[in-house]
Structure 1
Amino acid sequence: MLRIPCPHCGLRDEFEFRYRGDASVRRPAAGADAEAFYTYVYERTNPAGWHLEWWLHVSGCRRLLKVARHTVSHEIQAVGLPDDPIALPETSA
């Protein structure tokens, strides 16, 4: 089971959270064309290795967290708030 260290609530089981998507892509500006939004929504990579993700702590503090997680081992390297800079480790899957 995945355990996420919430900066506000401490170490918690993953069932308290909801995955909210890829934190490494940015939403297009409001005036962007349809192709930019199509790319944002549908054209995603499926990385094997370190990845930045959004997780919402729905059964705790209800805060949105940025998590650096390894998609193969599920190891969590760092957890922070949305504006926190989080660098991914430079390793392969």
Structure 2
Amino acid sequence: MLALPCPHCGTRDEAEFQFGGEPAIRPPSAVTDTVWAEYVYMRSNEKGPHRELWCHAGGCGQWFVLTRNTATHAVLP
């Protein structure tokens, strides 16, 4: 079980959350297909500390960014 800290509700079970991927700035609407494909499909897939978007869908509904070690699943400050 992965326990995630919601900044609004406190620590909750992973089942209450929806993963949102890497936080990234959306490219402008007038970009090439290559740039858009890189934004949509290319992920860094890092091993170790990684910033992630999460939504507390089963609770307050708020989106937030947290840093998690992808090798150990530990949530980092």
TM-score, structure 2 as length reference: 0.91
Matched, 1:63 2:50: no
The aligned length equals 77
The share of aligned pairs that are identical, in percent, is 40
Q: Following the alignment from structure 1 to structure 2, what is the Cα–Cα distance between the partners of residues 43 and 9?
A: 32
Instruction: Answer with 25-34 or 14-23: which moved more.
Output: 25-34
Q: CA deviation at 1:57?
A: 0.3
Superimposed CA distance per residue, residues 34-90 of structure 1 (whole angstroms, 9 cap, x where no aligned partner)? 111011112222110010101110111100010100001111113xxxxxxxxxxxx
Q: Which runs of 5+ in 1 are unaligned?
A: 79-93
Alignment partner of 2:28: what SS? coil
Q: Which has the higher contact order (CA 8 A, sep 6+)?
A: 2
Q: Following the alignment from structure 1 to structure 2, what is the Cα–Cα distance between the partners of residues 33 and 4?
A: 37
User: 4+ residue runs of structure 1 moved beyond 6 angstroms?
Assistant: none
Q: CA deviation at 1:20?
A: 0.8
Pairwise mapping of residues 36-55 of structure 1 onto structure 2 (< 5 A)? 36-55=35-54
Matched, 1:77 2:76: yes
Match of 2:2 in 1: 2
- CA RMSD, 1 decimal: 1.0
Q: Following the alignment from structure 2 to structure 1, what is the Cα–Cα distance between the partners of residues 12 and 60?
A: 11
TM-score, structure 1 as length reference: 0.77
Superimposed CA distance per residue, residues 20-45 of structure 1 (whole angstroms, 9 cap, x where no aligned partner)? 1111x322111112111011112222
